[in-house]
Amino acid sequence: MVNIAVLGYGTVGSGVVEVVNTNGSRISQRIGDELNIKYVLDLKDFPGDPVQEKIVHDFETIIEDEEVQIVVEVMGGIEPAYTFVKRSLQAGKSVATSNKALVAKHGAELLSIAKEQNINFLFEASVGGGIPIIRPLNSSLTADEIEEITGILNGTTNYMLTRMFYEGADYEDVLKEAQEKGYAERNPEADVEGYDACRKIAILSSLISGQQVDFEDIYCEGITQITAEDMKYAKGMGMTIKLLASSKRYAGNRLHAIVAPFLLKADHPLYHVDGVFNSIFVHGNVLGDAMFYGSGAGKLPTASAVVADVVDAAKHLNRNIMTMWKEEKLRLEEKAGAKRRFFVRIKGEEESLLPAIQDSFGDVEVVRAEGLDGEFGFITPVMMEGDYEVRARLYREQILHMIRVEG
Amino acid sequence: MVNIAVLGYGTVGSGVVEVVNTNGSRISQRIGDELNIKYVLDLKDFPGDPVQEKIVHDFETIIEDEEVQIVVEVMGGIEPAYTFVKRSLQAGKSVATSNKALVAKHGAELLSIAKEQNINFLFEASVGGGIPIIRPLNSSLTADEIEEITGILNGTTNYMLTRMFYEGADYEDVLKEAQEKGYAERNPEADVEGYDACRKIAILSSLISGQQVDFEDIYCEGITQITAEDMKYAKGMGMTIKLLASSKRYAGNRLHAIVAPFLLKADHPLYHVDGVFNSIFVHGNVLGDAMFYGSGAGKLPTASAVVADVVDAAKHLNRNIMTMWKEEKLRLEEKAGAKRRFFVRIKGEEESLLPAIQDSFGDVEVVRAEGLDGEFGFITPVMMEGDYEVRARLYREQILHMIRVEG
């Protein structure tokens, strides 16, 4: 029998219990041994819930029980999760977690403890919810240099942008609707400012580079400035706007990482990813393009990924699955050096402004949106962010909004 | 040092050599040991090619060399591939193969030999080319009951249907074009009759059921009967036609498997998979929907998957990665019991035929395509294939074509 303890009986924790109850016999068959949830750690009691008999309030019960071989951490936040996970690993218990904040900050250290102990620290659910992406990166895409990983990694903002695209709705209205449906929290900052996506792309960047990428170093711009007018321009150009979290390799191990709204053409694999779904596009130097799509959040999809990690941990009880992620920090490339095109909305008349704009930005493509008078848009040729910024300063008074263009 | 031998220096074999040469240092880092191609088996010599010094003509050289720990089989076909692979496994050498015919026919037996020997038989490249699907099914989607796996598993036919969709072209014209571009072979039967996709869905069905699914038992219909007129109807309904290979779980371990052209709505994740790309949609009972997308064929993407298997084999040299696929045969459900809707093109006038059709098929939805006179189409309600067939017999003279509707 393989005994596990679940830390936290919230949404994901109760999902983990449900998945084990629902698919227990198939899961045990895959492990080759019976899987048993011995403890569930929570501050609260759950009278009437069948889980009540497993509930403990003190982590010491779990850490001291040598029968517990795998700890599932689904509490979220840095503390006490970090302390509990670290102590579990040091005590020789493998850990599966869905906690992106913990993984982004302490992933390298926790992996190295797991390696020393010849056990495992697994975190498939921390990025992309139920979508298998961490394990494919670690054990399937191993013949490639990953040159790009670009994802729609936040379901809340993708739901909002999808509504804005199809209904021409305003940001404030779709936010309210998302909150009413429970897709967005009352304080939606972590989602709409891009912080959630930023932690996830930091984790993916660390994995493809093998070094620590700090999320604080990644330029992060949310969707709060995206308007119905921006989306109107996008549609007029046969494009849409998506919040992308992206990491691209330049020469060697140099990465450009960014979280920001991007204009995407209809032939981009991420263009059609609608609603709360997540999707991760990967380009390998020999594989070419690949994409992984699915539910990026939600109780059962996330629990599915956590329990899959438990199965993997149970199949590798005394054997470390090597994951390359050193604590040594990777210095990201400056945003100013990233090359791309920029879509700019500008106040004023095309006739009077265009000659100067062409002088500054080169051969721009002028874009009009129906019903938007007294303004126009243009797309620059490919240029460095730094060069764009210098030139944009000249039009500080006239520029209404700038959105980056992907591809 | 980990020594490997490559059987066959054709397209995939030369791709494997190229991938190892290109990404060798990263690959060795992931293995934790240096990867060395010691032999390449081929009937021919390759004077001037750097591979010439590794070329051997006799398999005995490889099987007798105890330094060879992993054998890569990329010859294709059943014999001599089957004999070589079986002997390699029996001699304690792990095998990675891209050979779908071999895996579909002998997968269960070869896996069981690998298990006895405590080594590995891996075949990621046999389905979906470079797309990671076999390993995700085996080691990522392990908390789920997989209730459906439906894929676009053949790039040639998907390229052809894509051209027919966007250009309104005829089947014969796009086949000729695909042959000129090298996407279709001179004898295109294996692709256009669905045989290639059928072997792949047989492999996937075996993996999700854990039992042998013979491809001969799967109903298989190719795209040779699809016309420009069919596609016109599809577009008019906001749908497209794709060659799907699908396996769906009914109660318990009962599977319905089929390869056939299907009408797909625009909101289906596979609708947007265009050109030579492949994509595999998976529905798990807790995961929900997921999709894996990428290059389903081609020298380097396929080689990328083969070499990833080599890396996995090298990391598990004396340890079997459990794969559930018993030799015991799974009896597939009868096609007659599958439930779905059917699109039917019928010769004649709606006014005179519709009352009888409604009598037979129930509340059908009539469909018209611009410029197609003297015929009309209708979509049936959801019904069993068997019931459809009985009713369709009454209209044998009038039915021009039937295409199944997915979802």
List the single best residue of A287, A315, A323 to mutate versus B (max B Cβ within 10 A). A287
Q: What is the pLDDT, as a whole number, of residue A251?
A: 75
Contact A286 B301 (CB under 8 A): yes
With contacts defined as CB-CB under 8 Å, which chain A residues touch B293?
Answer: 269, 289-293
With contacts defined as CB-CB under 8 Å, which chain A residues touch B15?
Answer: 286
- Binding site per annotation, positions of A: 7-14, 100, 185
Q: Please identify every residue of B annotated as catalytic.
A: 200
If DSSP states are collapsed to H, E and C, what string results for chain A?
Answer: CEEEEEECCCHHHHHHHHHHHHHHHHHHHHHCCCEEEEEEECCCCCCCCHHHHHEECCHHHHHHCCCEEEEEECCCCCCCHHHHHHHHHHCCCEEEECCHHHHHHHHHHHHHHHHHHCCCEECHHHCCCCCCCHHHHHHHCCCCCEEEEEEECCHHHHHHHHHHHHHCCCHHHHHHHHHHCCCCCCCCHHHHCCHHHHHHHHHHHHHHHCEECCHHHCEECCCCCCCHHHHHHHHHCCEEEEEEEEEEECCCCCEEEEEEEEEEECCCCCCCCCCCEEEEEEEECCCEEEEEEEECCCHHHHHHHHHHHHHHHHHCCCCCCCCCCEEEECCCCCHHHCEEEEEEEEECCHHHHHHHHHHHHCCCEEECCCCCCCEEEEECCCEEHHHHHHHHHCCCCCEEEEEEECC
Mean pLDDT computed over A105-133: 97
Nearest to A307 among B143, B288, B290 (CB): B143
- pLDDT tens for B51-101 read 999 999 999 999 999 999 999 999 999 999 999 999 999 999 999 999 999
Contact A304 B287 (CB under 8 A): yes
On the question of pLDDT at A253 being above 80, the answer is no
Q: What is the pLDDT, as a whole number, of residue B407?
A: 85
On the question of pLDDT at B402 being above 90, the answer is yes
Mean pLDDT computed over A164-190: 95
Nearest to B311 among A143, A286, A298 (CB): A143
Nearest to A288 among B130, B284, B319 (CB): B130
Contact A19 B293 (CB under 8 A): no
Q: How confident is the model at residue A250 (pLDDT cuts 50, 70, 90)?
A: confident
Minimum CA–CA partner of A135 in chain B: B140
Residues 6 or more apart in contact with residue B381 via CB below 8 angstroms: B341, B361, B362, B363, B364
Contact B303 A143 (CB under 8 A): yes
Quote the CA–CA distance of B120 and B314 in Å, as a whole number.
10
With contacts defined as CB-CB under 8 Å, which chain B residues touch A312?
Answer: 139, 142
Contact A322 B32 (CB under 8 A): yes
With contacts defined as CB-CB under 8 Å, which chain B residues touch A30?
Answer: 142, 322, 324
With contacts defined as CB-CB under 8 Å, which chain B residues touch A27?
Answer: 142-143
Contact A301, A294 (CB under 8 A): yes
Mean pLDDT computed over A317-333: 93
Q: Please report the domains of chain B, with CATH numbers, ordered by start residue.
A: 2-129+300-328 (3.40.50.720), 142-293 (3.30.360.10), 336-405 (3.30.70.1150)
The ipTM value here is 0.95
- pLDDT tens for B337-390 read 999 999 999 999 999 999 999 999 999 999 999 999 999 999 999 999 999 999
Nearest to B286 among A277, A285, A300 (CB): A300
- Would the annotation count B32 as a binding residue? no
- Would the annotation count B7 as a binding residue? yes
On the question of pLDDT at A407 being above 90, the answer is no
State the smallest CA–CA distance between residue B311 and chain A in angstroms: 7
The structure tokens listed for A360 are: 């500054």
On the question of pLDDT at A239 being above 80, the answer is yes
Q: What is the pLDDT, as a whole number, of residue A395?
A: 96
Q: How confident is the model at residue B251 (pLDDT cuts 50, 70, 90)?
A: confident
Contact B286 A26 (CB under 8 A): no
Nearest to B292 among A284, A292, A303 (CB): A292
The region of weakest confidence among A63-77, A132-146, B20-34, B250-264 is: B250-264
- Would the annotation count B100 as a binding residue? yes
- Would the annotation count B205 as a binding residue? no
List the single best residue of B22, B29, B140 to mutate versus A (max A Cβ within 10 A). B140
Angle in degrees, CA B188, B191, B197, rounded to 5: 165
- pLDDT tens for B287-300 read 999 999 999 989 99
Q: How confident is the model at residue A322 (pLDDT cuts 50, 70, 90)?
A: confident
Active-site annotation holds for A200:
yes
With contacts defined as CB-CB under 8 Å, which chain A residues touch B19?
Answer: 143, 286
- Would the annotation count B279 as a binding residue? no
On the question of pLDDT at B322 being above 90, the answer is no
Q: What is the pLDDT, as a whole number, of residue B234?
A: 98
On the question of pLDDT at A78 being above 80, the answer is yes
Residue written as tokens 């080599």? B310
- Would the annotation count B12 as a binding residue? yes
Q: What is the pLDDT, as a whole number, of residue B290?
A: 97
List the single best residue of A144, A211, A265 to mutate versus B (max B Cβ within 10 A). A144
Mean pLDDT computed over B158-173: 97
On the question of pLDDT at A179 being above 90, the answer is yes
Contact A125, B3 (CB under 8 A): no
Q: What is the pLDDT, as a whole number, of residue B115?
A: 97
If DSSP states are collapsed to H, E and C, what string results for chain B?
Answer: CEEEEEECCCHHHHHHHHHHHHHHHHHHHHHCCCEEEEEEECCCCCCCCHHHHHEECCHHHHHHCCCEEEEEECCCCCCCHHHHHHHHHHCCCEEEECCHHHHHHHHHHHHHHHHHHCCCEECHHHCCCCCCCHHHHHHHCCCCCEEEEEEECCHHHHHHHHHHHHHCCCHHHHHHHHHHCCCCCCCCHHHHCCHHHHHHHHHHHHHHHCEECCHHHCEECCCCCCCHHHHHHHHHCCEEEEEEEEEEECCCCCEEEEEEEEEEECCCCCCCCCCCEEEEEEEECCCEEEEEEEECCCHHHHHHHHHHHHHHHHHCCCCCCCCCCEEEECCCCCHHHCEEEEEEEEECCHHHHHHHHHHHHCCCEEECCCCCCCEEEEECCCEEHHHHHHHHHCCCCCEEEEEEECC
Average pLDDT of the residues of chain A: 96
State the smallest CA–CA distance between residue A385 and chain B in angstroms: 30
Q: What is the pLDDT, as a whole number, of residue B338?
A: 95
Quote the CA–CA distance of B360 and B141 in Å, as a whole number.
43
